[in-house]
Structure 1
Amino acid sequence: MHQTPASTSAPLQRGRILLACILAMFMAAVEVTIVATAMPDIIASLGGFPMLSWVFSVYLLLQAISIPIYGRLADMFGRKPVFFVGTTLFLSGSILCGFASHMPALVLFRALQGLGAGAIVPLTTTIIADVYNQQERARLQGYLSSIWAVSAIIGPLMGAFIVRHYHWSGVFWVNVPLGIISAGLLARYLPAAPSRHDEPSLDVAGITYMILAIGCLLIALLQGDELGRWRVGLLVLSVISAVLLVREQRRIPAPLFPLALWQSKIIVAGNVGGLIIGAAMMGIAAFLPTYIQAVLGGSTIEAGWTLAVMSLGWPLASTLCGRLMIHTSYRLMALCGAILLVTGSLLLLRLDAQSSIAAARLASFVIGLGMGMSNTTFLVSVQNEAPFAIRGIATASTVFTRMVGSALGTAIMGATLNRNLQRRLPGIDDPVQHLIAHHGQSGPGLAHMAQQVAVSMHGVYWISSLIALCALITAGLVPRGLRPRQEG
């Protein structure tokens, strides 16, 4: 039982800490959707359309790279100071983004924002794991998952309202009061961690190799089409850096990724599970709306609601999982989530050009249920297994692997779709855009094109089904009979 100073806090104090974490997590979760809604107005104001993808890519890149670093720093120096550093960077980037006068400046400030965001999600989750006992945190993770569902729905609405009635800069500045309130509550109510005079210095070499390995990999995946031949070089450099990172971690006494992370079957299964869930989630989220609009002839709103259904399934299953996990086991909940994920993926495979949007929404909802149950199980099991001394990096590692999985899933499925479209519809540069532009029209040419796009998308859904099967295999690796314990 890994008791922490915060875990003995009074209920009122713990409630205020929880509120601070909820506000911080909502701030980070809503950032992506609210900015995406405002991008047309931002481009109209600043120009620089060719740099559009970098507005999102640089944020994701810096966030992913910094997550394990913040996790290790939190174990060394305490959650509080590291959270404040991350929040300060995030809010500074948010304020500067609103003042950007051209696209290169916006990309630079988004990098600063992403660098701060790398601390927020893993550390809020870690703080909750410190403050609440094992059974309580199993229930709370279900409630916290609803934050992502709410942000997925509210974010676009907030972005549209701000852009219409104020100015696009407001989508960045809306974060500031949330961040200040969150930091203030934690400063007042979160107990300081005890000093650790025996902690060795930070693994600078390991951090360098990790940045090169993950940075080169993500740049190659996210910007591969623009890099041309340089993409292969980045992938080779990523592999070499990863090999050097592994060697470095085995050599030194205090590595960036402690050996205890890889000696526990639960933590290994949790990290592999996070990677798989990230790949499945982003792959489906990136391509299902396209299927709704281009193949099934749905509107943008109908496509958005299809994703919202998945966002609703996630917290419902996560909340249920948090309650059932206490009375069953990690393994059973992980298997149930993986089975739902496989079922939803098979439902996607049944879609064709004549399918209804309701069928797509059913598949989306079932996949959301599977992801919510699997993700909660893997995260809670890792937090409960990790002792307090490495809980920060253990939690960060699950968030980190999920983000890397998201980039991998999007890149692999995107490459598969493009290859299938080029083979089935040669000579047509962008058949998806052509179908969306002719929404509501009919004719044999459009019907044939929609059918070929549907068949091409099936390659994506086959990959998502294989990923779901990998989740099922990973769930089977979770040791039997383990569940959250009641701590005293």
Structure 2
Amino acid sequence: MNSEETKQKTLVFALLIATFLTAIEGTIVSTAMPKIVEDLGGSELYTWVISVYLLAIVVSTPVFGKLADLYGRKIMFTIGVSIFLAGSMLSGLSQSMEQLVLFRLIQGIGAGALTTLPFTIIGDVFTFELRAKMQGWMSSVWGIAGIAGPLAGGFIVDTISWHWIFYMNLPFGIISLFLLWASLKENVEKKKHKIDYAGIFTFAVSITAFLYALTLLKEQNQMTSGILSLMILAVIGIGLFLWIESKAKEPMLPLSLFKNRFITISTIAGFLLGFILVTVTFYIPLWVQGVTGLNATLSGVTMLPMSITWPVAAVLSGKLLAKTSIGRITIVGITVIAAGCIGLVSFNENTTVPLMMAVTAIIGFGFGLSLTAFTVAVQSAVEWKVRGAAMGTFNLMRNLGQSIGIAVSGLWLSDQLRGYALEISLHTVFTILVVLAVCAAAVAGMLLGEKGKQLSVS
């Protein structure tokens, strides 16, 4: 093994560690929340510990992507990991729920770098043929984290202290930084850049207002004047943001990206798939517990196949990309997702766990095929100087799809619904997912005939 191969493997390991930190954070914190509330009180802020973290990720992801284009992946990755670790340490030291919410905000800002820059770096370092293989590894990490998070969270809370679910990030983050600096070489043009402060501020305010409105809508389950005001602020803000970006010298979100059909189609499809994904992962467990009356453990077992078939399909997607069109791969993948969603619609209170596991396996396989192909398309369709912004935009749209998905689907449901009423409501949600999958397939069809090999942009 030569030194270049060793560096590449070291770099992959560094990126996998960083990805694992962000992947496990959601499930491990959710598991520990009952104990945290017991110690700190402030049960009314329970959901905000999770929500503020996710909100910060959505806002910071495209910002880190753009700054990585200006100043390099290494330095922005380092800053992002440092902020994440600082937020983790402070979260572990929290003495009140208000402090924890604030420190989780800081942690989420750093996590924005960890969720987008590893994919950007993969696009920089690896050839087209290897990018999808790397996506398979990344998908495996998310699958492992989905299984290990609840187990690790429960063990740490029961045997040590909930504080350590945050402290444990520190050694892994430091190792990731050390390995990245030892293995990643990049030549960044040294010149004075004009940061798009106006665009960043307007974007942050607009998206925060929008996501806050969605959170309130989900909690109150009705439109109020306050929520409507936030929505109006968000719409005006986004309009102003787009105007600023059209005039800025170095815009946070280069609108020219959307002249590239691979970027435009991938981001639209990513939004729709994000909507479907979060709804599936949130409401299948609700079906298992609320309709069939099974316990939480079995709801987790039901979702397990998705974590296995996703990375398997991601690797297969990589092999197919060099041989056929991206449109064909993504259409097949989305069709598989649609088939799985049709399976969800057929569920009833007597549906067995093995059958539900088969459906989640099908859905996971479809996501592995389609999202991997779209991710590689975004990585490969642009050159180095805008790849960070492109990946940031793609991840932003996926995250927005998830945020909107959980809020909109929640309008059909209520915490008080049980039994037959809940079954009808969930069938309505699952039917909506079938329609969205058909729309996503139609969008992906615009890439029919586009060979993966045509995307090999350096």
Q: What is the TM-score when the length of structure 2 is the normalising length?
A: 0.96
User: 1-side partners of 2:393 and 2:3: how far apart?
Assistant: 27
CA contact (8 A) 2:309 2:368 kept: yes
Q: Which amino acid aligns with 2:56?
A: L
Among 331, 336, 339, the alignment partner of 2:335 is: 339
Q: Confirm whether residue 368 of structure 1 aligns to residue 364 of structure 2.
A: yes
Are the aligned partners of 2:271 and 2:400 in contact in 1 as well (CA < 8 Å)?
A: yes
Deviates more, 1:455-464 or 1:233-242: 455-464
Instruction: Establish whether residue 321 from structure 1 lines up as the match of residue 342 from structure 2.
Output: no
Shift of 1:360: 2.0
Whether contact under 8 Å (1:352, 1:451) holds in the other structure is no
Name the CA shift for 1:297/1:308 in 2 (closer, same or farther; >3 Å). same
- The offset of 1:215, in angstroms, is 1.0
Q: Residue 312 of structure 1 is aligned with which of 295, 308, 312?
A: 308
Separation in structure 1 between the aligned mates of residue 290 and residue 64 of structure 2, nearest angstrom: 41
Match of residue 138, structure 1, among 109, 117, 132:
132
Alpha carbons of structure 1 residues 335 and 341: separation in structure 2 relative to 1, 3 Å: same
The aligned counterpart of 1:291 is: 287
Match of 2:447 in 1: 478
Q: Measure the CA separation in 1 of the matches of 2:407 and 2:188.
A: 43
Aligned partners of 1:38 and 1:160 also within 8 Å: yes
| Among candidates 70, 84, 88, match of residue 90 of structure 1 | 84
Q: Secondary structure at the match of 1:386?
A: coil
Q: Which amino acid is the alignment partner of residue 449 of structure 2?
A: R
Which secondary structure state, in structure 2, belongs to the residue aligned with residue 327 of structure 1? coil
Say if 2:195 is the partner of 1:202: yes
Distance across 1 between alignment mates of 2:207 and 2:448: 29
1:350 and 2:346 correspond: yes
Question: Number of aligned pairs?
Answer: 453
Instruction: Measure how far apart 1:291 and its partner are.
Output: 0.5
Shift of 1:416: 1.6
Structure 1: gaps spanning 5 or more residues: 1-7, 419-428, 433-449
SS state of the match for residue 178, structure 1? helix
Show the counterpart of 1:468: 437
Q: Secondary structure at the match of 2:52?
A: helix
Where does residue 119 of structure 1 map in the other structure?
113
The separation in 1 between residues aligned to 2:187 and 2:18, in whole angstroms, is 20
Partners of 1:338 and 1:370 within 8 A in 2: yes
Whether the 8 Å CA contact 1:298–1:357 is kept in 2: the answer is no
Alignment check: 8 A CA contact 2:321 2:451 kept: no
Q: Deviations over 1:318-346 (max 9, x none)?
A: 11111111211211111111110110111
User: Residue 277 of structure 1 corresponds to which residue in structure 2?
Assistant: 273
Q: Would the aligned equivalents of 2:333 and 2:370 in 1 still touch at CA under 8 Å? A: yes
Deviation of 1:266 after TM superposition, in Å, equals: 0.5
Percent sequence identity is: 34
Q: Write the deviation string for residues 359-397 of structure 1: whole angstroms up to 9, x where unpaired.
A: 222221111111111110111001100111100111111
- Given the alignment of the two structures, is residue 430 of structure 1 paired with residue 399 of structure 2, yes or no? no
Distance in structure 2 (CA, Å) of the matches to 1:391 and 1:334: 21
TM-score, normalised relative to structure 1:
0.90
Of 376, 387, 394, the residue aligned with 1:391 is 387
Amino acid at match of 2:21: M
Larger radius of gyration, structure 1 or 2? 1
Q: CA deviation at 1:149?
A: 0.3
Q: Distance in 2 between matches of 1:105 and 1:147?
A: 30
1:332 and 1:251 map into 2 onto residues whose CA distance is 37
Deviation at 1:431, TM superposition (A): 3.4
* In structure 2, C-alpha distance between the alignment counterparts of 1:417 and 1:106, rounded to whole Å: 29
Gaps of 5+ in 2: none
Measure how far apart 1:479 and its partner are.
4.8
2-side partners of 1:46 and 1:131: how far apart?
45
What is the match of residue 424 of structure 1? none
Give the counterpart letter for 2:64 in structure 1: Y
Q: What is the Cα deviation at residue 484 of structure 1?
A: 3.5
Where does residue 424 of structure 2 map in the other structure? 455
Q: Does 1:80 align with 2:74?
A: yes
CA contact (8 A) 1:296 1:357 kept: no
